[in-house]
Structure 1
Amino acid sequence: MPNNILIKTLAGLCTFAAVACGGGQQPRSDVAVYLDESQPIEKRVEDALSRMTLEEKVAILHAQSKFSSAGVPRLGIPEVWCTDGPHGIRPEVLWDEWEQAGWTNDSCTAFPALTCLAATWNPEMSALYGKSIGEEARYREKDILLGPGVNIYRTPLNGRNFEYMGEDPFLSARMVVPYVQGVQKNGVAACVKHYALNNQEEHRHGIDVEVDDRALYEIYLPAFKAAVREGGAWAIMGSYNKYKGQHCCHNQYLLNDILKRDWAFDGVVVSDWGGVHDTKQAAENGLDMEFGSWTDGLSWGASNAYDNYYLAAPYLDMLRKGEASTATLDDKARRVLRLIFRTAMNTQKPFGSLNSPEHLAAARRIAGEGMVLLKNDGGVLPIDLGKTKTIAVVGENAVKMMTVGGGSSSLKVRHEYTPLEGIRAAVGDRAEVIYERGYVGDVTGNYNGVKTGQDLSEKRSEAQLIADAVAAARKADAVIFVGGLNKSDHQDCEGADRLQYGLPYAQDRVIEALAEANPNLAVVMVSGNAVAMPWIDRVPAVLEAWFSGSEAGNALADVVFGAVNPSGKLPFTFPVRLEDNSAHALGEYPGTDKVAYNEGIFVGYRWHDKEQLKPLFAFGHGLSYTTFDIAGVKADRTTLAANGRIRVSADVTNTGTRPGAEVVQLYIGDEESSLPRPVKELKGFQKVSLNPGETQTVTFEITPDMLQYYDDAKGAWIAEPGAFTAYVGAASDDIRGTAAFELK
C-alpha cells in the first residue's frame, strides 16, 4: 500500500479513538460534528477548529514533507497531499528529497500541454481534461492538483508559456472554469497558478512587476477571477515574483484585498515551493499554506527543516508573544480545514482511475482537436496514403520524448507515442516510412530521476545530417519535418527563458534544404511558444502540434493523414519578429530588480491591431481541410439599454467536401471611449461542427457588462454610452462581418 494511502487509512482509524476518548487532551462529551458529513461544511469547520490547540492550528499551515502538510492526528484529521500538474500527476518523490521514490505504479497519462487545450477553443475539451486528470489525481490519493496555470502570454520568450492558456483573458477564463470544475468533481482541489503577473522565468524569484491597475484588472486577473467566482476553485498558488514591492505569496493587495475580500475566495492560498520569505508578511498578507521553503522548487534545500518554516515555529512564537493575530490564524486554519473536508475527508468522492483507456483516448482527442493547421497551400495535408508510396520523416522531435523535462510538469508515463511511432503505426504496410535525424538538439533524456531510456547520441556532422535528410526527401513522395522546441533549459522549460525567437539547432537550414528538395513538405512544430519562420514563403504546409502528451504521435498521425480534420485555433499571436511583440517594443524585458509593463493593456493581438502590424499568424487563426463561409452577420437591434441585451448572429456554412469544425469568434470594439481602448477584444466564441453543405446559425448575446473597461483613476469598471462595433470572424485578422450598435 502506498505510504500516503496507509497514513490516511490510519488517520481515519485514529478518528474513532480520538472521539471516543476525547482526544486525550481536551475531553469533550458533545458529539463530534466535524465528522458528520451530513452537516454543513462550515458547521464542521467551526466544530473542528474549536477542538484544536494553538500548536495544532499552526501545524496544518506548513509542509511536513516535500509534498504534504500535517493533519491533526489527535482528532483523526488527515494530512494534505499535493501533486504537481497541470498536464499529469507527477511521479512520487522521497519524503524529504526531490529524488524519485522508486515506485513502479506511479506512471500517469500525460495530457497535452495547456497551450494545446486552449487551442481547442472548446470548453467541452477543458471539462474532459479536468475530469480525466482529476480521476488520475484521485486514484493516486492526491488532495491538491497544482494546476491549471492561467498566466498571460506576454512575451514568446517566457519558458513556461506552454503551461498556460495564451494571451487573451477572455479565452483563458472560459477555458479554465470547466477544467477546475472537472478536477474538483473528483474531490481533488484545483490549485490555480501562478497568482499573479508571473510572465517570465528570468529573475522570477525577485523581479518586481510594475503594471498599471487597468492592465492588471483587464488582462492579468480575469482568468483567476473566473476560476474563483465561476469555477469555485478550492486553492490558489501564489507566484514567485513581486508586485508593489511584496512577494506574491504574501501580498496584501493581491491576496487579502482582491482575492479574499473582493472575490470572496473561501479556499486556501498555497505558496509556490520556495515562494515564502518573511514570517510577519506570511502571517498577515494572505498566505494559508507554506511549502518548499529553502528550495528553488527544483533542486536544493535544507533537509527536515519543516518546523523552521516561516509559518511554523517562528509564527507560533509570534502568536505566543501576542505579536500576531489569533483571529488571522483561525481564518487560515478554517480555510485548511475546509479544504480537508472537501478533499481528504470526503468519503463521497469517486475512486478515480489511472492510465485507463478512457484517459488515453481523452488525451488523444484533445491533442488532435488542439493542433493548429497554420498553412496548407496546395492541399499538401492530409497525406493521401492511396497515392503516396514513400514518406520521409525528418527531425529530432519526431523521435524525442517530450513528457520528461520542462520543470515541475515533467512526468513519468507508461509509454509516450512519438511522432515517428504514430506515423508508422498509421501507415502500416501501405507506404514506406524513411527517418532521418536532420539536426541534433538535446541528447539527454532524464529529469529528476525519470529517464526516457532513449539513446539520442549522434556522430554525424551538421552538414552530413542535412545531406542525408535531403537525400531521403528527394526519394520520397511526401516529407514531414518534425522540429520546434523541446523541454531543455532556455527552451520550453521552467526556470529560464528562451534566448532567441528563432528555432534552435540550425533547424532553419534543414527546413530550407528540404523545401528545395521536395515541394510536398509539411513542417510540424512541437512547441509551446511562437517561433520565427524565415522560410514560411517556401514551405507549403505548417502544423502546430504543441506538446501533446502520451498520445502525441497517434494524435499527430490522425491529423496528418486526415482521420481528424484540424480545428484548432491559435491562443496567442505569432509575431513576424520579436520586436513586433509589445513587451519588446514598449515594455521592459527581462529587467533585473524591476520590470515595467509599459505596453499596458496592449498585449498580443491588441497591440498588432493598434499598430496595424501584420502578424506571422494571428490570434484565433487556424485552417481546416474543408472551408467555411461566415456570412449574414446582423444584430437584432441597434441600441442596447443599460439592463438589456443584443443578439448578434451569423450563418456558418461548410462549403468544402469534408466534415469539419469552425470556431466563430466575436470581438467588440468601442468607437467613442474617453480612455484608449483596443480596436477590438474577444468577447465570445462558439465551435460549430458541420457536414459538407450544412449551415448553422450562431448567436451571441451582448450585455452591457461585456462593454466595460477598468478606469484606474476611479477604481471602477465603466461602460460608457456610445457607439460600438461587433466583429464576427474566423480569427482576429479574419473578420467576415460587423454589426454596429449603441449603448444607451
Structure 2
Amino acid sequence: MKNLFFIILLSILIGTIPLFAQNSSESMDQKIEEIIKQLSLKEKLDMCHAQSKFSSKGVPRLGIPEIWMSDGPHGVRAEIAWDDWSHANWTNDSCTAFPALTCLAATFNPELSYKYGKAIGEEARYRKKDILLGPGVNIYRTPLNGRNFEYMGEDPYLASKMVVPYIHGVQENGVAACVKHYVLNNQEHWRDHINVELSDRALYEIYLPAFKAAVQEGNVWSIMGAYNQYRGQYCCHNELLVNKILKRDWEFDGVLVTDWGATHDTKQAALYGLDIEMGTGTDGLTSSSKNAYDNYYLANPLRKMIENGEIDESVVDEKVKRILRLMFRTNMDNSRPFGSMNSQEHFDVAREIAQEGIVLLKNENNFFPIDPETTKTIAVIGENATRMMTIGGGSSELKTIHEISPLEGIQKRFANAKILHAMGYSSGPSAYGRVIPSKLNADSLQSEAIKIAKQADMVLFVGGLNKNHHQDCEGDDRLQFSLPFGQDELLSEILKVNQNTAIVLVSGNAVKMPWISKVKAIAQVWYLGSEAGNAIADILSGDVNPSGKLPFTFPVKLEDNAAHSFGEISYPGDGVNQEYKEDILVGYRWHDTKNIKPLFAFGYGLSYTDFEITNVKTDKKIYQEEDVISITCEIKNTGNLSGKELIQVYVNDVKSSVLRPLKELKGFKKVSLNSGESKSIQIDIPVKDLAFFDDKKMNWKLETGQFKLMIGTSSKNIINTTKIDVE
C-alpha cells in the first residue's frame, strides 16, 4: 500500500493525475492528510519557515516544491540574493511597473482593479512566483505615513470594494495574493514594536473591513501579518487577531505569512496562528549560526518544544495543512496558466489605470487642457519631471523595463511647443533607511529655474514627494507636511516672474499648499509606473478627460487631521504605546462630523466637462433588515466633452444610541457619458450595511429609525438627500 501511495503521489506531482482544478476541496483535504502522514517533523518544520530571503522549503523526496514569493503590490520585484538584500543582478527580471495603489483607489473603478490584478498576476506567474506580496489595504490615518502610497486610502468601504477584484485577477493565474499588513500598520515610525490601543468599534468598523472582504469575498489564499503590536501581542502571532477573528470568525483557510523579521516568540508563533516565518535574523546563512534558518522561531526552537512535550505536533500539522492547500492552489496545480511579461497589453493596462487615477484638483479659467497644436513655450520645472519613481520606496522598488518620465511624455505630446526644463531643486540619491543630501547647488538650480520661467508662456511645476527615506518610503514616516527640498520657496519665486503656473503633484500623500491661491491649476498624479509620462500628457493635453477622485482627505494643516489633533500619544505614540484617540472618525468622517473644512475632500476631483444629477429616488421608504435599498438617479453630461463622473452615496444614522459619523460611504458607481448623453443608474445598498459594531455585545447592530442617504460627487458636495426608515 505504501508503494502504491508513492506511485499515486508521484503521478499527481508530475501531472499524470490532474490536481486541484479537477478535484473537490474534500478530496484535496484527503490528499493533504495522506501527505502529512509521510512527513517527518523536520520536514514539516522546514515548510514553516524561510530557506532564503524569498522562499521556503519543499520536500524533495516527495516532489513537494518550494514556495517562491515576491514583492510587491505594484510590480514583480527584481530578484534578490539568496541570503541578503543585495540584488541578484539577473538580466531578465525587468517588469512592468503599474501605478501605486493610491492611484488605483483614485479610479474608484473595480473593473480596473481586476485588470490590474490579472496583469500583475500574469507577470508574477511568468516569473515563477507562487505568492505575490500584495495588495496593501492599511488605512490612511495620517498624511505622514511613509507607506500610504502602497495602500487604498482612508475609507474601509472603498478599500474593500477595490481589493476583491485585484485578488481575483491575481489568483486566476495560480498565484496567491497576499493581502497586507494585518493589521493596524498605519505608520512606519516605530512600526517594529509600537503597541496600538484602540476601541473595538474602530477595529471592526475602520481597520478590519478590507481584510474581511479579502477573505470572505476575495477568497484570498494568503495574508501577511503586521510588524506592530495590538494590545500587547505582536500581530503576526496574535491570539485575538489571528486565531479568533481571521481563522475562526472569518474561516480563512489560507496561509498567514509573517512580515520579514516580525516574529518574536516561538510559543506564540506556534499557538497563535503564524504559518510561515520569513526574514528572522535578516542575514540568513551569511552572518552567523545565530541567524541561520534552522534557528528561526518555527525551526529548531519549536522542534525542541514539541520533543519536550510542551507543544503538540498537531499544531505544526495544522500549519502544514494550510501550506499544502496553498500549494495545491498554486505550484501543485498543473492547470494554471503560464503567465506573460512586459506585454503591450500590460503597458496599456498600466496607462489606463494611470489616466483614470489622476485627480484634477484645481483648474482656474480652464488652464487645462493645454492645446498641443498651439505653439507655446512651456517651462517644465522640477526634479520630479525626470526622476525615476520606480526606484526606492523600500520593498515596492521595481526594476522596470521602461519608465516614461513626465518630461518625456510632455515633450512627445507637445512636439509643436518649445519645451524648456530645469531641475529647480534636488533631493539627493535614493537610499533605504537614510537620507543622502544632494551635492548640487540649490541656489544655482533655483536661478536656472527662474530664468526659464521668465521666458515661458506657462510653467508646469512637476514637484511633490519622492521615494527617498522620510518621503513616500518604507521604514519611517515623513518629517513634515510641507513640500521638501525648498519647493515652496522655489514656487514663490517662480510665481513672482510667471503667474501662469500650474502644479503637477507627484506623491502618495497629501501635502501642505501655501501657494494654492496663486497657481492656476493642480493635478495630483501619484506614482504612475512605466507609463507615467504618457498618462500625464494624456490628461494635460485633453486626450483623456480626468476622472480620478481623491481616496483620502487633504487637510488644510496637519493639525486638522484627526490622528494629529490629540497630541503625540495618538501619533506617533510615546515609543511604547499609541492610542487611536480619534476612534472611528478617520479622514472625512472626522472633517465632516467636526465641521473642519478640508483643503480637498474625500471623493473630490474635477473634470473638463460638466454633469447634472437629477431624479434621485429610492425604491421605497421603509425597509427591513434583510432588504436591499435601491437608489436610482439620472446623470447627464451637460458639457462639450466625453467624460466620467463618480456618483457617491453616503449614509447618516439620524438618531443613534452611539456616536456615528455624519457621513459614511456605502455605495458608488462610475459612469461614462458622451457629451449630451444621459443615463439612468442604480446603486444598491444592503440594509444590514447600515449597522454599527456594538462593542458591548461584540457584534454588529442595526438600530431602527431614520437614515439619511446623501448622494453627491464628493463627501462635501452632496447634491441630494433622501430619508428612509428602517424597521
TM-score, scaled relative to structure 1: 0.93
The one-character-per-residue Cα deviations of 1:437-482 (angstroms, maximum 9, x if unpaired) are 111222x15669xxxxxx99764443x4333222312222221100
Q: Give the 3 Å change call, closer, same or farther, for CA 330–393 of structure 1 in structure 2.
A: same
Give the root-mean-square deviation of aligned CA atoms.
2.0
* C-alpha distance after superposition, 1:499-543 (max 9, x if no partner): 011100111122222233223321011000000001101111000
Aligned counterpart for 1:473 among listed residues 436, 450, 453: 453
AA aligned to 2:687 is: P
Q: By how many angstroms is 1:30 displaced?
A: 7.0
Any idea what the Cα deviations from partners look like across 1:416-449, whole Å, max 9, x if unmatched? 1111111111122x1111001111222x15669x
**Which segment drifts farther, 250-259 or 465-474?**
465-474
* Contact in 1 for aligned 2:84/2:282 (Cα 8 Å): no
Between the aligned partners of 2:621 and 2:375, the Cα distance in structure 1 is 55
Residue from 592, 596, 601 that aligns with 1:609? 592
8 Å contact kept, 1:294–1:301: no
Query: Closer, same or farther in 2 for the Cα pair 1:373/1:58, shift >3 Å?
Result: same
**Is structure 2 residue 548 aligned with structure 1 residue 562?**
no
Alignment equivalent of 2:374, drawn from 379, 387, 399: 387
Letter in 1 for 2:427: G
**Which residue of 123, 137, 141 corresponds with 1:150?**
137
State whether residues 146 and 191 of structure 1, in contact with CA within 8 Å, keep that contact through their aligned partners in structure 2: yes
Q: Is the 8 A contact 2:173 2:336 kept in 1?
A: yes
- Distance in 1 between the 2:432 and 2:375 partners? 39
CA separation in 1, counterparts of 2:599 and 2:11?
Answer: 61
- 1:735 corresponds in structure 2 to 718
Corresponding residue number in structure 1 for 2:517: 537
- Does the 8 Å contact 1:632/1:737 carry over to 2? no
1:205 aligns with: 192
Unaligned 5+ segments in structure 1 are: 1-18, 449-454
In the other structure, the counterpart of 1:518 is: 498
Q: Does 1:424 align with 2:411?
A: yes
Which residues of 2 match residues 613-652 of structure 1 at below 5 A?
Answer: 613-652=596-635
For 1:440, the equivalent position in structure 2 comes to 426
Does 1:721 find its partner at 2:701?
Answer: no
Equivalent position SS for 1:737: strand
Q: What amino acid is the match of 2:484? A: P
Secondary structure of the residue that 2:51 maps to in structure 1?
coil
For 2:595, the aligned partner's letter is: Q
Kept in 2: contact 1:154–1:603 (CA 8 A): yes
Distance across 2 between alignment mates of 1:66 and 1:459: 36
- Using the TM superposition, give the Cα deviation of residue 300 of structure 1 relative to its aligned residue in structure 2, in angstroms: 8.9
Q: Would the alpha carbon gap of residues 295 and 524 (structure 1) be closer, same or farther in structure 2, given more than 3 Å must change?
A: same
CA distance in 2, matches of 1:211, 1:456: 38
Q: 1:616 to 1:742 in 2, by over 3 A?
A: same
Tell me which amino acid in the other structure corresponds to 2:332. Answer: M
Equivalent residue for 1:13? none
Contact 2:431 2:468 in 1 (8 A): no
1:560-599 matches, within 5 Å, as 560-586=540-566, 588-591=570-573, 592-599=575-582
Matches within 5 A, 1:443-454: 444-445=429-430
Residues 225-255 of structure 1 show CA distances to partners (whole Å, capped at 9, x for unaligned) of 0000000100000000000101001000000
SS in 1 for 2:37: helix
Encode CA deviations 1:360-419: one digit per residue, 9 max, x unaligned. Answer: 111111111100000101111111122342111000000111101010011111221111
Task: Give the corresponding residue for 1:364.
Answer: 351
| Mapped pair 1:509 → 2:489 | yes
Alignment pair present for 1:135 and 2:122: yes
Q: Give the whole-Å Cα distance in 2 for the aligned partners of 1:193 and 1:724.
A: 34
Is 1:222 equivalent to 2:206 in the alignment?
no
Q: Following the alignment from structure 2 to structure 1, what is the Cα–Cα distance between the partners of residues 279 and 244?
A: 25
- 2:654 paired with 1:702: no
What is the CA deviation profile of residues 696-738 of structure 1, one whole-angstrom value per residue up to 9, with x for unaligned ones? 1221223221110001011110010001000000000001111
| Identical residues among aligned pairs (%) | 57
The alpha-carbon distance between structure 1 residues 676 and 131, as it changes in their structure 2 partners (threshold 3 A), is same
Name 2:36's counterpart in structure 1. Answer: 49
What is residue 75 of structure 1 aligned with on the other side?
A: 62
SS in 2 for 1:537: coil
Pick aligned residue for 2:649 from 663, 666, 684: 666
Secondary structure at the aligned position of 2:50 is classed as coil
**C-alpha distance in 2 between matches for 1:404 and 1:490:** 15
Give me the whole-angstrom Cα distance separating, in 1, the residues matched to 2:725 and 2:375: 56
CA–CA separation in structure 2 for the residues paired with 1:700 and 1:356: 36
- The residue number in structure 2 matching 1:165 is 152
Rate the CA distance shift 1:327–1:597 in 2: closer, same or farther, 3 A: same
Q: Deviations over 1:266-289 (max 9, x none)?
A: 000000000001100000000000
Q: What are the Cα deviations for residues 91-130 of structure 1, in whole angstroms up to 9, with x where unaligned?
A: 1111112111110000111111100000000001100110
TM-superposed deviation, 1:265 = 0.1
**Which stretch shows the higher mean deviation, 644-653 or 234-243?**
644-653
SS for the counterpart of 2:476 is: coil
Write out aligned runs for 1:347-358 (5 A). 347-358=334-345
Which residue is equivalent to 1:315?
302
Separation (CA, whole Å) in 1 of partners of 2:671 and 2:663: 22
Distance 1:594 1:447, change over 3 A: closer
* 1:29–1:506 distance in 2 versus 1, CA, 3 Å: closer
Q: Which amino acid aligns with 1:346?
A: D
1:528 aligns with 2:512: no
Following superposition, the deviation at residue 644 of structure 1 comes to: 2.1
CA distance in structure 2 between the partners assigned to 1:466 and 1:100 by the alignment: 36
Q: 2:8 & 2:125 partners in 1: Cα distance?
A: 33
Deviation at 1:357, TM superposition (A): 1.1
CA distance in 2, matches of 1:330, 1:496: 37
Cα distance in 2, alignment partners of residues 548 and 395 from structure 1: 17
* Corresponding residue number in structure 2 for 1:6: none
* Partner Cα separation in structure 2 for residue 246 and residue 230 of structure 1: 28
Structure 2 residue matching 1:138: 3-state secondary structure = helix
- Please report the TM-score for the alignment, with normalisation by the length of structure 2: 0.95
- Tell whether the 8 Å contact from 1:145 to 1:189 is kept in structure 2 after alignment: yes
Query: Paired residue for 2:222?
Result: 235
**Does 2:253 align with 1:273?**
no
Partner AA of 2:89 in structure 1: G
Aligned with residue 692 of structure 1, among 661, 672, 675: 675
Q: CA deviation at 1:563?
A: 1.1
Task: Sort the Cα spacing of 1:676 and 1:457 in 2 relative to 1 into closer, same or farther, 3 A.
Answer: closer
Aligned length: 712
- Which sits farther off after the overlay, 592-601 or 504-513? 504-513
| CA deviation vs aligned residue, 1:628-667 (integer Å, no higher than 9, x gap) | 1122222221111222232212211111111000010010
2:166 is aligned with 1:179: yes
SS at the partner of 1:492?
Answer: coil
Q: Secondary structure at the match of 1:583?
A: helix
2:517 counterpart SS class? helix
Q: 1:302 to 1:445 in 2, by over 3 A?
A: farther
Structure 2: 5+ residue runs without aligned partners? none
**Aligned with 1:339: secondary structure?**
helix
Do 2:427 and 2:437's aligned partners in 1 also have CA atoms closer than 8 Å?
no
Letter in 1 for 2:524: E
In the TM superposition, what is the alpha-carbon distance from 1:34 to its structure 2 partner?
5.9
Q: Does 1:283 align with 2:265?
A: no
- 2:49, 2:293 within 8 Å by CA — same for their partners in 1? yes
1:393–1:420 contact (8 Å) kept in structure 2: yes
1:99 to 1:21, Cα distance in 2 relative to 1, 3 A:
farther
Distance in 2 (alpha carbons) for counterparts of 1:87 and 1:570: 19
